[in-house]
Amino acid sequence: MTASDHLRAVWVSGAFGFGDDLAYFREVLGQFAARFPGAAVLVREDYPVDRYPELPLAPDLRFWMRRRDRLVGEFTYTGNLRVPTPGTAWRMLRRPTDVVVIVEFTPTALVSATVAHLRRRRVVQLIESDPSFRGGRDGRLATAVKRAFARRSHIVLVSNDRTAQYARARLGIRAERLRVGPYLTSQPGEASAGSDDGGPVRFLFLNSLQRRKGLHLLLAALAVLPDHARDWTLDVVGDGPERAVLQQQVVELGLGERVRFHGGRSHDEVAADYARAHVVVCPTQGDYRSLAGFEAVNSRRPVVLSTRDGAAEEIVDSGAAAVAVDPVETRALAAVLASFLRDDAHLARQLAMASAPPDRFGVEAVGANLEAAIRAAAK
C-alpha cells in the first residue's frame, strides 16, 4: 500500500449541469468516491445531499449569484454566475486535502485553485472542450487569466484531441502535464443489444424540447423522406418550452400517426426508451459537448449526430456506430435517415456494430481517467 492510496481528493464544482441535478454526474462521482475512499464532493449549502446517500457530498459552498446568459450564435445558454463567498474560501482552507479537482474556469474553480496553491496542495483541472464553443470569453485578458491558472495546475485532463489542441495552443500546457481522455459520460441503466423485428424502424429523440436541440429540424427531414420498403416511427422523450410548437409542426407536416410525444423522464427511466429504439437521432444546432450521443452509444444503439455538437468528431472517430451530419441541411439529414429504411441489411449492420460500444466511453474507463490524473498530480 502506498501513500497515494490514502489520498484525500476533493472535487469542487459550482454547478452540475442542467438544473444542478447530479443525474449525469452521479455515475462519475460514484467512481471518484470508490477509487478514493477519503474523497469529498463540495456542493452548495442547500443542496439535497440526502438524495444521493452513496456519494460523499459536503454542503460547504456558498455563493453570491446573479443570472448570466451566454449568447452562442443565435442561441442563448441560460445560467447563473456563482462567486464563492469569503466564508467558502475559509472552509476550503481548513478542509484536509491532498488533491483538488476543479472543473473548467468558473469563479468557483479559480477560487478553489488559488486556495489549493496557497496551501501547497496539488490541482487537477478538468476541461471538456474549448470554452469559446459555448460562449466563454475568448478575449486577450480572459485567455491570459485562463492560461495563468491552467499552467499552474499540476495535471490538466481534457476529453478529446480537439480540446488537447486548445490546451496546448491557447493555454500553453506542457505535454507532461496534459492527459487526454473523457472524464464525463452517461450510461443509463443496463444496456441491451438491439434487434430488428422487421416492423417500422423506430427513431428516438431524447432531449429537452428547446429550439437549440433541433427536433424541428429532425421533423422537417422526416417529412421529406421518400417512400421506402421500411416504415418508421419517432418517439420523442423530453419536455420543454417548444413542446406545443413542435406538436403543431407534426400536425402541419402530416406526421401525426408516426410521431409520439412521451413527455419528460428521469435519468433512471430512460434505459427503457433506448431499449425500444433502433436508431437515436441528436440533431442539435449547437452543443459544447453533449452527453446525448454518449448515452446512445452506451445504450448500444446507432446514433445520428450533429456536426454542430462538440462531441460528434470524438464519437465518430471512436469507431462507434455513429454518423455525423449538419441537421440544418434538411436533405442531407433525410438521406442519412433514409439509409436505415432502404434495406434491412444496413440497419442490421449498424445494430451489430452498436452492440459493442467503445470501452473508452464507459463509466469504468472514465473513472480510470480521473484516477490516473489525480494520482499523477499527487506524485
pLDDT by position in tens, the chain (length 379)? 344 468 999 999 888 876 677 877 889 999 999 999 999 999 999 999 998 999 999 999 999 877 666 666 566 666 667 889 999 999 999 999 999 999 999 899 999 999 999 999 999 999 988 766 555 556 788 889 999 999 999 999 999 998 999 999 999 999 999 999 999 999 887 778 878 888 899 999 999 999 999 999 999 999 999 887 789 999 999 999 999 999 999 999 999 999 999 999 988 899 999 999 999 999 999 888 889 999 999 999 999 999 999 899 999 999 999 999 999 999 999 999 999 998 888 999 999 999 999 999 999 999 999 999 999 999 8
Distance between CA 132 and CA 271 in Å, rounded? 33
List the domains of the chain with CATH numbers.
3-185+362-378 (3.40.50.2000), 201-361 (3.40.50.2000)
Residue 163: CB atoms within 10 Å: 23
Distance between CA 88 and CA 107 in Å, rounded? 12
Whether the predicted model's global pTM rises above the 0.95 cut: no
Q: 327-341: buried (b, 16+ CB within 10 Å) or exposed (e) per residue? A: beebeebbebbbbbb
Q: Give residue 143's region: left, alpha or beta (phi > 0; psi -120 to 50).
A: alpha
Query: Which cell goes with 90?
Result: 475559509
* Helices assigned H by DSSP within the chain: 23-35, 86-94, 107-118, 140-152, 161-169, 215-223, 243-252, 271-276, 292-298, 312-317, 330-339, 344-354, 363-378
